Amino acid sequence: MRFLQLLIFTFLIAGCNSGNAPVKKVIIDPNPTSEMAQLMRDMTNELASIREKLINEEELNQNLLDFALIHEQEVTDPSFNKPHIKPMSEAYAYAVDAFNENPTKSNYSAIINNCLSCHQLSCPGPVVRIKKLYLN
Ligand code: HEC
């Protein structure tokens, strides 16, 4: 039972391309970075810095976030192009707009919730990293 849990966890952290050994992917990164993967990395970094500011109670400006639409990006593998991507990408963009208009903690958390719901359906690998973006 324990072993099975470990096995499942290993697959989860292996990222979307569970065919590659996770360690190999981190070190050599054999796949060229897709547009979508690059966007995801940029969003992760930018949101991490906003998270710090929110935690430090810094005053945030409006319109901080300017991300390309997820569903218009090229993916690493066509298997990521699932039917739910577009509606979930639109829901995500809506949450980003709301934060841009009103950069509060709760609007920030709504963005992260949207990251998480799409990933739980399509690409569970980064879920651990996404959860680290929550405020507490
Ligand atoms: C509409 C669905 C969707 C939403 C919303 C979404 N993602 Fe992704 N994410 C994907 C897909 C699909 C991939 C795989 C892309 C590829 O490899 O081409 C991915 C890949 C990633 C990766 C791995 C990138 C890499 O280096 O290979 C990270 C990290 C990530 N997302 C974080 C996030 C964060 C943080 C958010 C919210 C700010 C987010 N995602 C919102 C679908 C989504």
Task: Give me the sign of the Cα torsion angle 68, 72, 74, 80.
Answer: positive
Tokens of 130: 């996404």
Q: What pLDDT is recorded for position 76?
A: 86
Verify whether ligand 1 is closer than 6 Å to residue 130 (CB atom).
yes
**pLDDT-flagged residues of the chain (< 50):** 1, 3-4, 6-14, 18-25, 27
Verify whether ligand 1 is closer than 6 Å to residue 89 (CB atom).
yes
Question: Are 107 and 98 within 8 A, CB to CB?
Answer: yes
- CA distances for 3 relative to 7, 8, 53, 81, angstroms: 6, 9, 40, 32
Alpha carbon of 79 to ligand 1 centroid (Å)? 14
- As a residue count, the chain comes to 136
Alpha carbon of 48 to ligand 1 centroid (Å)? 14
Amino acid at 94: Y
Q: What pLDDT is recorded for position 17?
A: 53
Best residue among 45, 107, 123 to mutate for probing ligand 1, ranked by most atoms within 8 Å of CB: 123
Report the Cα 67 to chain-centroid distance in Å. Answer: 12
